[in-house]
């Protein structure tokens, strides 16, 4: 199994010290930065947008994995690409013309990710499977960090990985929400190869460095086995 990627999410980080928090996860070996954009419509909260992402891009060389929890994402893709996004994840639930949106993302030079809410079936992306670079499987209802993983997510990931394998596709599967040290290995063994890590990395109980190390250690056994 190729190395599992860890993508810290900043919703529970200290956003007043965002540059320091970015440097901390970078030093601790993060693979991507996962940036959660919320519009107050697709999900109730409003988080941050392209202007903040552009500022973050200036203080890191890590790939930016931008998670657009927004309606009508096609209207915003260009500004997020210009802000420095490397991966643009849209949600299947709000894409009327998913193939066109995936093509738009790729034309902007970004990798195309498609998100699935917990209640959205894999069949929602079946017709576009060949074109998608990353499927973002929500492990919680989107909108907030710090929630518990919905257990059925593991089976969904296993099912998705099996369907991708059947088609000979090595598409990335990113699990987003609820990843903790105790379930990280299970997520990876089911077939996720990108793990979003929010409150497990940014919390009041342990340093970013210690939390990242614990996550890596939890994943090491799965990586060796495969
Ligand atoms: C939820 C966001 C997630 C979230 C993950 O809507 O998309 O990226 O921040 O946070 P944790 O890891 O705490 O569940
Ligand atoms: Zn996210």
The tens digit of pLDDT for each residue in 126-156 reads: 999 999 999 999 999 999 999 999 999 999 9
Q: Which residues of 114-123 are buried (b: 16+ CB within 10 A; e: fewer)?
A: bbbbeebebe
The pTM (predicted TM-score) of the whole model is 0.97
Give the residue numbers annotated as catalytic, written as ranges: 36, 176
| pLDDT number for residue 224 | 82
Q: Say whether pLDDT at 226 is over 80.
A: no
Residues with CB under 6 A from ligand 1: 9, 11-12, 34, 36, 67, 140, 142-147, 176-179, 196-200
pLDDT of residue 225: 77
Q: Give residue 223's pLDDT.
A: 84
60-to-23, 63, 85, 153, 176 alpha-carbon distances in Å: 7, 8, 12, 31, 22
Cα of 1 from ligand 1 centre, angstroms: 25
Residue 118 in this model has a pLDDT that exceeds 90: yes
pLDDT at 1: 58
For the cut 80, the answer to whether the pLDDT of residue 24 exceeds it is yes
pLDDT at 79 over 80: yes
Q: Give the ligand at the shortest distance from the Cα of 89.
A: 2
pLDDT at 211: 97
């Amino acid at each position: 199994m190729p190395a599992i990627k860890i993508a810290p999410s900043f919703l529970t980080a200290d956003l007043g010290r965002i540059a320091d928090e970015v440097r901390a996860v970078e030093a601790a070996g993060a693979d991507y930065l996962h940036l959660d954009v919320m519009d107050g419509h697709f999900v109730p909260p409003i988080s941050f947008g392209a202007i903040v992402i552009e500022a973050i891009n200036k203080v890191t060389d890590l790939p930016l994995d931008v998670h657009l929890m927004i309606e009508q994402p096609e209207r915003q893709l260009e500004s997020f690409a210009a802000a420095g996004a490397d991966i643009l994840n849209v949600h299947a639930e709000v894409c009327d013309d998913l193939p066109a949106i995936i093509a738009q993302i790729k034309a902007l030079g970004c990798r195309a990710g498609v998100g699935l809410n917990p209640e959205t079936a894999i069949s929602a992306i079946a017709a576009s499977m060949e074109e998608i670079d990353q499927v973002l499987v929500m492990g919680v209802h989107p909108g907030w960090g710090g929630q518990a993983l919905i257990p059925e997510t593991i089976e969904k990931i296993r099912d998705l990985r099996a369907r991708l394998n059947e088609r000979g596709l090595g598409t990335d599967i990113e699990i987003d929400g609820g990843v903790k040290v105790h379930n990280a290995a299970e997520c990876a063994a089911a077939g996720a190869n990108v793990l979003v890590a929010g409150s497990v990395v940014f919390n009041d109980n342990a340093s970013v460095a210690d939390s990242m190390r614990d996550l890596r250690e939890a994943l090491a056994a799965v990586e060796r086995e495969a």
